[in-house]
Amino acid sequence: MNVLTIRIPEEIEKKLKIKARMEHRSVSEQIKKYLSDAILMEDNPDLPLSFIKETLEAKAEIEAGLGKEYQFGHIK
């Protein structure tokens, strides 16, 4: 893992600390989350972030064996 030093305005730092505390993350983890989200959004500009995250979650569930094949035309 590489270490990168960045300078951010104090106001943004305060907001990062608040968000990190709310999400039970370190400030570093919060920054990583925001960067990851930003990359996902840039790679998929026509899709809402919530849709991208739900799709990735569904894919992970399938890979973990939690998914079920949908039966079209069958109402239970």
Taking the C-alpha atoms of residue 74 and residue 76, their distance in angstroms, rounded to an integer, is 6
Supply angle C-alpha 21, 27, 29, rounded to 5: 105
Taking the C-alpha atoms of residue 63 and residue 42, their distance in angstroms, rounded to an integer, is 25
- Residue 74 pLDDT > 80: no
The answer to whether the Cα torsion of 24, 28, 31, 37 is positive or negative is: negative
The single residue listed with the structure tokens 């730092």 is 13
Segments of 4-76 assigned E as strands: none
Average pLDDT, the chain: 92
Could you read off the pLDDT of 10-44 as tens digits, one per residue?
999 999 999 999 999 999 999 999 999 999 999 99
- Whole-model pTM above 0.75? no
- Residue 75 pLDDT > 80: no
- Residue 76 pLDDT > 80: no
- At 71, is the pLDDT very low, low, confident or very high (cuts 50, 70, 90)? confident
